[in-house]
A and B are shown apart, each in its own frame.
Chain A
Amino acid sequence: MKTLIFKTASNYLLPLLLLFAVFILLRGHYLPGGGFVGGLIASIAFVIHSFANGLETTRKIIKFHPGFLMPVGLTIALVAGAAPWLFGMPFMTGLWMDEPIPVIGLVGSALFFDTGVFLVVIGVTLTIIFTISEGL
């Protein structure tokens, strides 16, 4: 599958798809999208890249084992959920900024939570796929 066209295309597709994944993550609160789908799309981006260039190249781009994304994501989600405690509110109460930030929009604890989901999904998918393709 290592054709020249696919290889060249995948190099451009990777950043584009990742950007798209983040876009999907950010718009999730208002329009179709969200952390879960975003995470899946980002994983597909890496998988396509690894198909075209070989697993080792993709690993080099990511630099660390994708499994690390799982604890990181879980921690972010947990912190986002626990943050309201600091303000004396129950676990998972939504906290929101008063003014929207340009481009990103209104930022709240839910977005951080969704980012956690996003990272966990990437970690899970890539760990499974990379492990299986290595084992074969």
Chain B
Amino acid sequence: MLLAVLSGFFVALGLPLIIKVFKGPNTLWVSLFPLSLFIYFISKLPAIKDGETLSSSWAWVPSLGIGLDFYLDGLSLLFTLLITGIGTLVFVYTSSYLKGHIYLDRFYAYLSLFMASMLGLVLADNIITLFIFWELTSISSFFLIGFNNDNEASRKSALTALSITGLGGFFLLTGMVTLGYVAQEYQISALATLSEEIQANALYPLILVMVFVAAFTKSAQFPFHFWLPGAMKAPTPVSTYLHSATMVKAGIYLLARFTPILGNHEWWNGPLIIVGSITMVYAAIHAIFRLDLKAILAYSTISALGILVFLIGLGTDEALLAAGVFILVHALYKATLFLVTGIIDHETGTRDVSKLSGLNKVMLPVGIAAILAAISNAGIPASFGFIGKDLIYEATLHLGNMGYVLTGLAVITNVCLLFAGFLAGIKPFIGPLPPAFSKLHLPPATMWVPPLILASLGMVFGLFPMVVDTALIKPIVSSMTLGTPTFELKIWHGFNIVLLLSLLTIGSGIALYFILKPSEVLFAKATRFEKLSPESAVNQFAKGFVSFSSKWTNFFQNGYLRYYLITILSFLSLLLGYRLFYGVEIYVDTSTLSDITLYEAVIVLIMAAAIFFTVFSKSRLTAVASMGVVGYCFCLIFLFYSAPDLAMTQFSIDTLTVILFVLVLYNLPKYLTLSDTRDRIRDGLLSLIFGALISILTLEVMNETVTKDITSYYAENAYILGKGKNVVNVILVDFRGFDTMVEITVLAIAALGVFSLLKLRLKSIEKE
């Protein structure tokens, strides 16, 4: 299983190279890779059906308890089949959709990367590994959404998606670390047995909030939903794969996976029901006013995700069953509709639903796929969607008084979704064919076969539910409830209130379809409220943040060395002054200080004179030379106190500093007094204060009792272990050699920085 997950990463690395070598017009063979993974996972189906679970593990960072542990049960099997199955179809579809695109190799690499991350996410059995793959899906989807990187809107939506899902990633990490800390366990399969202890812990609400935000951002729940319609800038295969079938379901997967651990508690159920129902109704109503096919599908996807969150929030066995079935139903019909939209866009060049009609006459197989998908979406009897919707109504109705309100919401949502599905799946294909489209022809089979397969599966599962019943659906439910489910998927439940609701939904949906015609006017009316949407709020915030940071930066990064110095020194002075004034008892033990000798006094006098010269001299060169004198005096002091190494180094450094100064000063204009007396007094005062504080600090350090362990260790072992008598050098090249290694690297980087900055400046001057 480890290989199955990681192979995608290797393929992603190798693909661009391989495709370059085998440069051919046909890239269909790439689809063999996801196909083989699909076959691998489907071969595990019998074992999972018998109630087994498979696991594999490989220690990755054992010291932190992080392992590449993978675990396959009913829930993860459903997702792996969706990921690899729809993945295969998307790979096939892409070979025609992006045929001849110069970056097709890259596109396949991103797709494989994404597929591997997604597989890792749904198979991970370690909460930290789960987080890592979660982040990888965000990153790889960033590349996929921004694939058309010469388009500004596309770049912007990639960035929005990354920021929103990345934000969720932070929350997930916090939640997972807290969970691991509370439970002292990082294994997901083991956490379920600890659920009572976790829920009794005071940190339980915190974990919940973190997991919720993570799931809501990833699965585009209100108020984080807006990145999903934006992400539709991506090429259609991406929208199909990421935004209908897999990535957006990652949040749902997270919630489903943690249901046995965190669920069955009112704090878990309440927020999920509220957010889920707001999202499903809000997005469903939005969907019916859109004109762009992709936007319609995006909003109806958000709404479907809302339904899933809502069902998981209900938390009853019936609701979880409904959720499990609906994940599959939705993936099948929504992926079909997206692929069909891609074909329409590819062939006609428009996605405006008010302009499209009659396409059945030119591309019948595509139309069949779309209409089948729309039927499944509508939940018309004999389709898989019918079973799915029945289960939803059944789950909401069995909740008592609250149930009627929730059922009402579910009906409204489903009516709108049905309308949206008809708009996307049926409207473009029936009616008269506009003359502009009469010359269109059927796209290659690699494009229309994938949606047809998916749509037919939706019908097959609907007519013969026993195909998926025990094999797929039961293991899913048992991995969410940890019990043995007692149900059977049926096409016909008899005449009851659920059937009545179904008929009501279908009836009003179809009525709505005939009443409401998509038009610019309606669209304009619906978008009037955009100002109040969370998206505008976030955009406003982003704008404000940018203007605030540019003001902040301009204030502090003003480009004047003197202001930088003033800022740094005053801040340090304040900090030091505060600490010395409040926290430390200033005491200087004069008895430990050595006597002052004559030559020391002379050196200090020379230094004082040199400083005087530096400050008051009218010539720059004199000032620099006097600075050099101060430096040399320091060297002498080092020598007096037997630090010859330090003295030598300081001596060379000072020489070079003076040389550098001279080099620069040589080219400056004649000495000018640029600062007035007030500035000079200010600078002088600051220097005095800072100097005084440092002196006090130095004297204070003397009082600290220093542990001499390290010093004596170095002194004793320099010759024994390092074979050197110069302790300083042995420390530099042996004991702390690694530090030195990094330091010389930093030096080299600094030199490169100076070099490139100055060279760049030179070049720009030459250009002028």
**Complex contact A74–B663 (CB within 8 A):** no
Chain B: minimal CB distance from A136 (Å): 4
Q: Which of A64-92 contact B (CB under 8 A)?
A: 67, 70-71, 73-74, 77-78, 81, 91-92
Chain B: minimal CB distance from A112 (Å): 9
Chain A: minimal CB distance from B296 (Å): 57
**Complex contact A127–B648 (CB within 8 A):** no
Taking CB atoms, residues of chain A closer than 8 Å to B730 are 29, 110
| Chain B 724-737 per-residue mask, 1 if CB under 8 angstroms from chain A, else 0 | 11101110111001
User: Quick check: is B738 within 8 A (CB to CB) of the other chain?
Assistant: yes
**Complex contact B754–A127 (CB within 8 A):** yes
Chain B: minimal CB distance from A73 (Å): 7
Taking CB atoms, residues of chain A closer than 8 Å to B737 are 81, 92, 110, 113
User: Quick check: is B593 within 8 A (CB to CB) of the other chain?
Assistant: no
Q: Among the listed A35, A125, A135, which residue makes an inter-chain contact with B733, where contact means beta carbons less than 8 Å apart? A: A35
**Complex contact A94–B723 (CB within 8 A):** yes
Chain A: minimal CB distance from B632 (Å): 14
User: Quick check: is A23 within 8 A (CB to CB) of the other chain?
Assistant: no
B653 and chain A: residue at smallest CB distance: A40
**Complex contact A113–B733 (CB within 8 A):** yes
**Given A29-B724, A30-B724: A121 and B747 interface contact (C-beta under 8 Å):** yes
User: Quick check: is A108 within 8 A (CB to CB) of the other chain?
Assistant: yes
**Given A28-B729, A36-B732: A132 and B751 interface contact (C-beta under 8 Å):** no
| Chain B 628-654 per-residue mask, 1 if CB under 8 angstroms from chain A, else 0 | 000000000000000011001100110
Chain B: minimal CB distance from A22 (Å): 15
**Complex contact B656–A47 (CB within 8 A):** yes
User: Quick check: is B596 within 8 A (CB to CB) of the other chain?
Assistant: no
Q: Give A77 to B732 CA distance when docked, in angstroms.
A: 12
**Complex contact A37–B738 (CB within 8 A):** no
User: Quick check: is B578 within 8 A (CB to CB) of the other chain?
Assistant: no
User: Quick check: is A117 within 8 A (CB to CB) of the other chain?
Assistant: yes
Taking CB atoms, residues of chain A closer than 8 Å to B648 are 24, 32-33, 37
Chain A: minimal CB distance from B186 (Å): 29
Q: Which of A82-126 contact B (CB under 8 A)?
A: 91-92, 94, 96, 106, 108, 110, 113-114, 116-117, 120-121, 123-125
User: Quick check: is A129 within 8 A (CB to CB) of the other chain?
Assistant: yes
Most buried by A among B660, B724, B733, B748: B733
B750 and chain A: residue at smallest CB distance: A124
Q: Give A123 to B744 CA distance when docked, in angstroms.
A: 11
Q: Give A129 to B740 CA distance when docked, in angstroms.
A: 22
B738 and chain A: residue at smallest CB distance: A92
Q: Give A73 to B740 CA distance when docked, in angstroms.
A: 12
**Complex contact B744–A110 (CB within 8 A):** no
**Given A74-B744, A92-B737, A132-B758: A37 and B644 interface contact (C-beta under 8 Å):** no
- The interface of chain B, by Cβ under 8 A from chain A, is 644-645, 648-649, 652-653, 655-656, 659-660, 663-664, 666-667, 721-726, 728-730, 732-734, 737-738, 740-741, 744-745, 747-748, 750-752, 754-755, 758-759, 761-762
**Contacts A67-B751, A125-B656 given; 15 further ones with Cβ under 8 A?**
A34-B732, A37-B652, A91-B738, A92-B734, A92-B738, A94-B721, A116-B744, A117-B732, A121-B744, A123-B751, A127-B754, A128-B751, A132-B664, A135-B761, A136-B666
For this complex, 25 residue pairs linking A to B, each with C-beta atoms less than 8 Å apart, are A28-B726, A28-B733, A29-B725, A30-B725, A34-B645, A34-B728, A40-B652, A44-B656, A47-B659, A71-B748, A81-B738, A96-B723, A110-B723, A110-B730, A113-B741, A114-B732, A114-B733, A117-B744, A123-B748, A123-B751, A124-B747, A124-B748, A127-B752, A127-B754, A128-B750
- The interface of chain A, by Cβ under 8 A from chain B, is 24, 28-37, 40-41, 43-44, 47, 67, 70-71, 73-74, 77-78, 81, 91-92, 94, 96, 106, 108, 110, 113-114, 116-117, 120-121, 123-125, 127-129, 131-136
